[in-house]
Structure 1
Amino acid sequence: MDGVSQQDVQKYREDGYLVLEGFFSPEECDVLRERMSEIVEQMDVPVHCRTQFSTDHDEQLKTQGNADYFITSGDKVCFFFEKGVFNENGEFTVPKERSLNKIGHALHAHEPVFKSITHSPKVQNLAKKLGLIKPVVLQSMYIFKQPCIGGEVTPHQDATFLYTEPLGKVMGVWIALEDATLDNGCLWFIPGSHRNGITRRMVRTPKGSFPLTDFIGREQNYRDDLFVAAPVKKGGVVLIHGEVLHRSAENTSDASRNVYAFHIMDSENTCWSSENWLQPTEELPFPSLYT
Structure 2
Amino acid sequence: MSSAEPPSEGLTPEQLAAFHRDGYLIIPDALSPETVSALLAETHRLLGTLDLSNHPLTRFRTGGETGEDHVGDDYFLTSGDKIRFFLEEDAFDPVSGALTKPPHRAVNKIGHGLHMLSPPFAALLRPPQTHDKTETPAVAPAPAAVARSLGFADPRVLQSMVICKQPEIGGAVPAHQDSTFLYTDPPSAVGFWYALEDATHENGCLSFLPGSHRWAGVERRLVRKPGAAEGTEMVPNEAGQLFPVPRVEGEGVYGDQHEGVGGEERRNGEYVLGEVKAGTLVLIHGNLLHKSERNLSQKGRIIYTFHIIEGAEGWKYDERNWLQPPPEGFTKLYG
Does TM, normalized by the shorter one, top 0.5? yes
Please give the alpha-carbon distance, in whole angstroms, between the structure 2 residues aligned to 1:265 and 1:41: 32
Give the fraction of aligned pairs with identical amino acids, expressed as a percent.
42
Matched, 1:185 2:176: no
Matched, 1:30 2:37: yes
What aligned pairs does 1:230-269 form with structure 2 within 5 A after superposition? 230-268=274-312, 269=314
TM-score normalised by length of structure 2: 0.79
State the shift of 1:193 in Å. Answer: 0.9
Q: Which amino acid aligns with 1:214?
A: E
Could you list the runs of 5+ residues in structure 1 that have no partner in the other structure? Answer: none
State the shift of 1:118 in Å. Answer: 3.1
Which secondary structure does the structure 1 equivalent of 2:91 belong to? coil
Matched, 1:147 2:159: no
Partner of 1:2: 7
Please give the alpha-carbon distance, in whole angstroms, between the structure 1 residues aligned to 2:177 and 2:310: 17
State whether residues 50 and 104 of structure 2, in contact with CA within 8 Å, keep that contact through their aligned partners in structure 1: no
Write out per-residue CA displacement over residues 107-164 of structure 1, whole angstroms, 9 at most, x where no aligned residue: 0001111100133442221222222111110110000101111100000111111111
Please give the alpha-carbon distance, in whole angstroms, between the structure 2 residues aligned to 1:128 and 1:230: 25
Write out per-residue CA displacement over residues 65-98 of structure 1, whole angstroms, 9 at most, x where no aligned residue: x611111111111111111324578653211111
Please give the alpha-carbon distance, in whole angstroms, between the structure 1 residues aligned to 2:84 and 2:55: 13
Please give the alpha-carbon distance, in whole angstroms, between the structure 1 residues aligned to 2:148 and 2:320: 29
TM-score normalised by length of structure 1: 0.90
Please give the alpha-carbon distance, in whole angstroms, between the structure 2 residues aligned to 1:45 and 1:276: 28
Partner of 1:81: 87
Could you list the runs of 5+ residues in structure 2 that have no partner in the other structure? Answer: 1-5, 129-141, 238-258
Greater mean deviation of Cα atoms: 212-221 or 96-105: 212-221
Please, what is the CA RMSD of the aligned residues? 2.2
Quick check: which has more Rg, 1 or 2?
2
Q: How many correspondences in the alignment?
A: 284
> Which of 108, 113, 118 is equivalent to 1:106?
113
Please give the alpha-carbon distance, in whole angstroms, between the structure 2 residues aligned to 1:24 and 1:100: 24
Write out per-residue CA displacement over residues 41-66 of structure 1, whole angstroms, 9 at most, x where no aligned residue: 112245562111122166664xxxx6
Please give the alpha-carbon distance, in whole angstroms, between the structure 1 residues aligned to 2:16 and 2:161: 25
Q: Which amino acid aligns with 1:202?
A: L
State whether residues 70 and 233 of structure 2, in contact with CA within 8 Å, keep that contact through their aligned partners in structure 1: no
Higher fraction of helix: 1
Q: Which amino acid aligns with 1:251?
A: N
State whether residues 190 and 226 of structure 1, in contact with CA within 8 Å, keep that contact through their aligned partners in structure 2: yes
- 74 and 38 in structure 1: CA distance in 2 versus 1, 3 angstrom threshold: same
Please give the alpha-carbon distance, in whole angstroms, between the structure 2 residues aligned to 1:51 and 1:159: 24
Please give the alpha-carbon distance, in whole angstroms, between the structure 2 residues aligned to 1:42 and 1:242: 32
Please give the alpha-carbon distance, in whole angstroms, between the structure 2 residues aligned to 1:89 and 1:217: 37
State whether residues 157 and 308 of structure 2, in contact with CA within 8 Å, keep that contact through their aligned partners in structure 1: yes
Q: Which amino acid aligns with 1:80?
A: F
- 217 and 186 in structure 1: CA distance in 2 versus 1, 3 angstrom threshold: same
Matched, 1:160 2:180: yes
Q: Which amino acid aligns with 2:322?
A: W
Partner of 1:227: 271
State the shift of 1:2 in Å. Answer: 2.6
- 42 and 210 in structure 1: CA distance in 2 versus 1, 3 angstrom threshold: closer
Write out per-residue CA displacement over residues 161-190 of structure 1, whole angstroms, 9 at most, x where no aligned residue: 1111012x1100000001111111111111
State whether residues 23 and 210 of structure 2, in contact with CA within 8 Å, keep that contact through their aligned partners in structure 1: yes
Partner of 1:278: 323
Matched, 1:173 2:192: yes
> Which of 204, 210, 214 is equivalent to 2:233?
214
Greater mean deviation of Cα atoms: 84-93 or 11-20: 84-93
